Chains A and B, each alone.
Chain A
């Protein structure tokens, strides 16, 4: 039923659509009868459309900012470490886009981002770990995004931040990887070809530069762990449950909000723009993990219906986005 307060002529922006879509996908897990493939496919199309619009707006904004700061001086490297700050942070700083000198040989190059004030939708960080610690190259030309949590310490601290991938970096050799930084667990997650790698952000010096004026605790060391889809020891992500990141031994993080947490993740294949990249990738990776795991068990290959507890657990395990409302 339509809510009374919202008339028919509502205009949802891309971010609201994304959060609504994620909510639908999340709730579909618990619906009777199992996950409906058709409905989730359609919702993922909406997600993709909203995401495309949002990204195009972001890139336009980035481009505009680059025009304003042609010298490319880095203005800020915000840590992602502090607990999620208040969304109502007064006068959130506007930070310029920051293209770093690309260094294709050294994969330590990173791109930095424009930061959106208010801890709204943020873009994926591309943080490169030092090569010796690197589990997976972090450069990505196709950013994903998610919302930062809205709760947090007092005002004045800027919103928890991530870094957008600068599209001008375009790392074709790592185009199938996307990196996501979890603001709460301080874990950098890279998904490569459906496999998950996790590094602590403390390994990435770029991520952990404290910003001037920030009263933020240093990032706690996380764990490095490789997660594969279908890994069964992951906890299922419950709504509002703290520690839902499933990082064993990782830094405990306070639940920033009692509201539901949703995962959003995107691994886009730039060469095939017609793919439904984000949620289907999640399902797909889940499927792949399930199939590879289960085919040893039974002849009948498992299908795309992620209805088993293992599937749900593995879905919750390797996605990290936190949605703020």
Chain B
């Protein structure tokens, strides 16, 4: 489909799913006014599947909620393609590592979908230590007419059976069930920060602070270590791995980012252990921007290949950068997300906000990139027109299907009527996780415990 030019994007809210209690999701129209929620309800990852039909979210409580897009129906055209809850399950539970006296959080760090190969859907979900492969399948028929047991399931007395019948499948209410098919455990000593499915659909990788492991979906008791940056002497540790992703088309290529603001591209054909990179992307630091916190704000929190595979996008604390795979010495584009925070870094260090890990996403055509900010703001940058917009995900000022109004942060001087000053920003409302539909202008934005789905109004 043809995507409209950026100027015509007018996102409107489709729905807001709010997590207050376990497994209870309310449509936007009946949201309670109180905003209390438990920490377990905080959304920690959002991911569309490859067709955009399904949207998966994971939260701090270890649950996964999958939304499915309604089929378009002529009867209700205004409900075109809305997302509704499809399946909910508990993916990870809190665990305790007795050897190290370490509690393992159940928070879902990442969800990645596998491409659909049959009627069932498969996704990977991971917490700090364990990756699980889940199968989500529908059941809308059930067999009836067994010979040896009756409809309640009770066994029938064989001596009472006089005739034989063939069981038949009869329709039933749709039931969506999720079953764990594989559990990939005990391979990571440090906290897993990324998983990425390979384009061969047979392998995937999981990355923690110091190592990256390659798995085969069928084999759970073995993984290959492909990157290991742990120094022999931990006193010499200077950087950790922060994110990793496979190339979308070349199954031998992957990238990983570091806390030092560098990206390494590795080719698995060169050697079994890809400690030596094939390409090394680093931008020299601007010495005039040097501060106490230079190392923190240069740490890359997310890295994403473009759909074309030609570019990678990285997010550090204040900027989003687009790199051309063929140019290692600097990015080709740099976008300031919230540069007004540069003078506030010490406060943000005090309240730990400087450690927030923002993600970034491409749209389907790689022409627009999106990332989150504070005060429930999120930003979009059009790479072609160089225009950008700040939008807000909030319930107060947007009715369902209302068009989002661009927001502006006033940096200094006189504040205009609709602007918000930097000091008024709410740093507890942060948008770390966003997702963009693979082919349409539908975005999912996670604001703490609320999931907002916005759709571009095509008119």
* Contact indicator B189/A20 (Cβ below 8 Å): no
* Contact indicator A288/B347 (Cβ below 8 Å): no
CB within 8 Å of A: which B181-213 residues: 189-191, 193, 209-210
- Min CB gap A274→B, angstroms: 7
Q: Which residue of chain A has the shortest Cβ distance to B343 in the bound complex?
A: A9
- Min CB gap B282→A, angstroms: 15
Question: Which of A75-83, A86-94, A104-112, A304-312 lies at the interface with chain B?
Answer: A304-312
Residues of A within 8 A of B423 (CB): 7-8
Question: Which of B3-11, B293-301, B439-447 lies at the interface with chain A?
Answer: B293-301
* Contact indicator B292/A17 (Cβ below 8 Å): yes
Most chain A beta-carbon contacts within 10 A, residue among B102, B239, B292:
B292
CB contact between A41 and one of B259, B291, B350 (< 8 Å): that residue: B259
CB contact between B350 and one of A20, A37, A302, A308 (< 8 Å): that residue: A20
Residues of B within 8 A of A45 (CB): 295-296
Residues of B within 8 A of A194 (CB): 235
Q: Which residue of chain B has the shortest Cβ distance to A269 in the bound complex?
A: B235
- Min CB gap B291→A, angstroms: 8
A309 to B100, CA, bound (A): 8
Residues 416-459 of chain B: 1 if any A CB is under 8 Å from the residue's CB, otherwise 0?
00000011000110000000000000000000000000000000
* Contact indicator B237/A284 (Cβ below 8 Å): yes
Residues 3-32 of chain A: 1 if any B CB is under 8 Å from the residue's CB, otherwise 0?
100111111100001001000100000001
A41 to B295, CA, bound (A): 10
With known contacts A1-B428, A20-B349, A303-B190, A33–B235 Cβ distance under 8 A: no
Residues of A within 8 A of B97 (CB): 307
Most chain A beta-carbon contacts within 10 A, residue among B193, B239, B344:
B344
Question: Which of A133-141, A166-174, A241-249, A275-283 lies at the interface with chain B?
Answer: A275-283
* Contact indicator A11/B346 (Cβ below 8 Å): yes
Residues of A within 8 A of B235 (CB): 194, 275, 280-281, 283-285, 287-288
A46 adjacent to chain B (CB < 8 Å) = yes
B240 adjacent to chain A (CB < 8 Å) = yes
CB contact between A307 and one of B101, B239, B295, B351 (< 8 Å): that residue: B101
A302 to B347, CA, bound (A): 35
Residues of B within 8 A of A38 (CB): 191, 193, 209, 240, 242, 259, 299
A32 to B218, CA, bound (A): 32
CB within 8 Å of B: which A42-78 residues: 42, 45-46, 49-50, 53
* Contact indicator A6/B209 (Cβ below 8 Å): no
- Min CB gap A227→B, angstroms: 17
- Min CB gap B118→A, angstroms: 36
CB contact between A34 and one of B103, B259, B344, B347 (< 8 Å): that residue: B103
A296 adjacent to chain B (CB < 8 Å) = no
CB contact between A17 and one of B103, B239, B346 (< 8 Å): that residue: B346
Q: Which residue of chain B has the shortest Cβ distance to A17 in the bound complex?
A: B292
A202 to B43, CA, bound (A): 58
A11 to B427, CA, bound (A): 19
CB contact between B103 and one of A10, A11, A32, A36 (< 8 Å): that residue: A32
Residues 342-358 of chain B: 1 if any A CB is under 8 Å from the residue's CB, otherwise 0?
01101101111001000
Q: How many residues on chain B are close to A (CB under 8 Å)? A: 47
Residues of B within 8 A of A10 (CB): 346-347, 350
CB within 8 Å of A: which B96-155 residues: 97, 99-105, 107, 128
Residues of A within 8 A of B189 (CB): 300, 302-303, 305
A53 to B292, CA, bound (A): 9
* Contact indicator B234/A280 (Cβ below 8 Å): yes
* Contact indicator B346/A33 (Cβ below 8 Å): no
Q: How many residues on chain A are close to B (CB under 8 Å)? A: 46
CB contact between A8 and one of B100, B237, B344 (< 8 Å): that residue: B344
* Contact indicator B295/A42 (Cβ below 8 Å): yes
CB contact between B100 and one of A3, A288, A307 (< 8 Å): that residue: A307
CB contact between B259 and one of A20, A42, A308 (< 8 Å): that residue: A42
Residues of A within 8 A of B427 (CB): 1-2
A275 to B97, CA, bound (A): 31
* Contact indicator A46/B293 (Cβ below 8 Å): yes
A259 adjacent to chain B (CB < 8 Å) = no
CB within 8 Å of A: which B29-52 residues: none
* Contact indicator B344/A284 (Cβ below 8 Å): no
Residues of A within 8 A of B179 (CB): none
Most chain B beta-carbon contacts within 10 A, residue among A46, A280, A308:
A46
* Contact indicator B259/A33 (Cβ below 8 Å): no
* Contact indicator A288/B234 (Cβ below 8 Å): yes
* Contact indicator B295/A2 (Cβ below 8 Å): no
Residues of B within 8 A of A2 (CB): 347, 350-351, 427
Residues 250-270 of chain A: 1 if any B CB is under 8 Å from the residue's CB, otherwise 0?
000000000000000000000
* Contact indicator B237/A309 (Cβ below 8 Å): no
* Contact indicator B233/A284 (Cβ below 8 Å): yes
- Min CB gap A296→B, angstroms: 15
- Min CB gap A293→B, angstroms: 13
Residues of A within 8 A of B236 (CB): 275, 284
A281 to B236, CA, bound (A): 8
B398 adjacent to chain A (CB < 8 Å) = no
* Contact indicator B191/A37 (Cβ below 8 Å): yes
Residues of A within 8 A of B295 (CB): 42, 45-46, 49
* Contact indicator B101/A308 (Cβ below 8 Å): yes
A275 to B231, CA, bound (A): 12
Residues of B within 8 A of A6 (CB): 347, 350
B238 adjacent to chain A (CB < 8 Å) = yes
* Contact indicator A46/B104 (Cβ below 8 Å): no
* Contact indicator A37/B296 (Cβ below 8 Å): no
Most chain B beta-carbon contacts within 10 A, residue among A38, A285, A288, A308:
A38
A194 to B242, CA, bound (A): 28
A303 to B97, CA, bound (A): 14
- Min CB gap B105→A, angstroms: 4
- Min CB gap B409→A, angstroms: 13
* Contact indicator A33/B191 (Cβ below 8 Å): yes
Q: Which residue of chain A has the shortest Cβ distance to B98 in the bound complex?
A: A308
Residues of A within 8 A of B239 (CB): 41
Q: Which residue of chain B has the shortest Cβ distance to A275 in the bound complex?
A: B236
What 10 A-B pairs have minimum CB-CB distances, sorted nearest first? A284-B235, A303-B189, A45-B295, A307-B102, A33-B105, A287-B234, A34-B102, A284-B234, A12-B346, A37-B209
Q: What 4 additional pairs, Cβ within 8 angstroms, besides A41-B240, A305-B102? A: A9-B343, A304-B210, A304-B234, A307-B100
Can you name 14 A-B pairs with beta carbons within 8 Å? A1-B428, A2-B427, A12-B350, A33-B102, A33-B107, A33-B191, A34-B102, A41-B240, A42-B355, A49-B295, A194-B235, A275-B236, A302-B100, A304-B237
Which residues does A use to contact B, with CB under 8 Å?
1-3, 6-12, 17, 20, 24, 32-34, 36-39, 41-42, 45-46, 49-50, 53, 194, 274-276, 280-281, 283-285, 287-288, 300, 302-305, 307-309
